[in-house]
Amino acid sequence: MIVHYGDHPDQQLQYFAPAHPSLPGAALIIHGGYWRQKYTAELGVPLAKDLAVRGVPAYNLEYRRGPGSAQLMLDDARAALALIEQPGPISVIGHSAGGQLACLLAAHEPRVNQVISQAGVLDLRVARELGLSHDAVNELLGPLDLAPYDPVQLWPVAARVILFHGRTDQDVPAQLLSGAVTRAQAVGQEHRWEMFEGDHYTWIDPTSAQWAACVREVVSLHGG
């Protein structure tokens, strides 16, 4: 089922109903792609389907992207979260740039109980200094200040943050993970971190050990 939460074609929320009696709460998938329009919510469909098979109500977010879209993305994520009606805990799973938006959402919405960052771009300052993905951070922000959209500068938040990363990630260097862990420890952000074998894309393969680790975190929170 697809719900339109705004007038823009990208303001869509896909719902995948559980295949059997569900665990409480719901999970929200946020895809990555360095905030560019050519990467779509299709990246999150296999993960949402897998969670639904496991009894977790799963939502897959499409949102406005492109140059200068930092605030639009946050507005969209908040609007979509408001449509989730299931009582109970909310896990938000964000891959790559989706990890940034997932953490940003948790900073503004106390309803989020857990963020699982899959190779997330969580330190925008470092990402900008490194010029990752052809200066994607500057493209995202446009004239906006960096700080209000930089997850590590918004910690601590009430949600627990799970920081997962791949050792051979060439798209989001592990340097961003180490910086995020250091920041979380310094400010008292509740978190857990783990480095895995694999590259940037193993996280969105529902048959991978990396995805299985994400599922364990979801099921643990949601009472399975």
Q: Residue 41 carries which DSSP code? A: G
Q: How much is the average pLDDT of 66-86?
A: 97
Interatomic CA distance for residues 118 and 89, integer angstroms:
19
In one letter, which amino acid is 34? Y
Q: How much is the average pLDDT of 185-211?
A: 95
Residue 188 confidence (pLDDT): 97
Half-sphere exposure of 209 (CA within 13 A, CB side): 8
Where do the domains of the chain lie, and which CATH numbers do they carry?
2-221 (3.40.50.1820)
Q: How much is the average pLDDT of 168-178?
A: 93
Distance between the two ends of the chain, CA-based, in angstroms?
25
> Which residues does 45 contact at the CB level (< 8 Å), separation at least 6?
14, 60
* pLDDT tens digit sequence for 77-132: 999 999 999 999 999 999 999 999 999 999 999 999 999 999 999 999 999 999 99
Residue 149 Cα distances to 94, 160, 169, 179, angstroms: 15, 18, 23, 16
**Counting beta carbons within 10 angstroms of the beta carbon of residue 69, is it exposed (0 to 12), middle (13 to 18) or buried (19 or more)?**
buried
Where does residue 133 fall: left (phi above 0), alpha (psi -120 to 50 degrees), or beta otherwise? left
**Counting beta carbons within 10 angstroms of the beta carbon of residue 206, is it exposed (0 to 12), middle (13 to 18) or buried (19 or more)?**
middle
Residue 136 confidence (pLDDT): 97
- CA 199, 155, 113, 30 torsion-angle sign: negative
* pLDDT tens digit sequence for 15-31: 999 988 788 999 999 99
Where does the pLDDT of residue 224 fall: very low under 50, low under 70, confident under 90, or very high at 90 and above? low
**pLDDT at residue 139 tops 90:** yes
Q: What is the pTM of this model?
A: 0.96
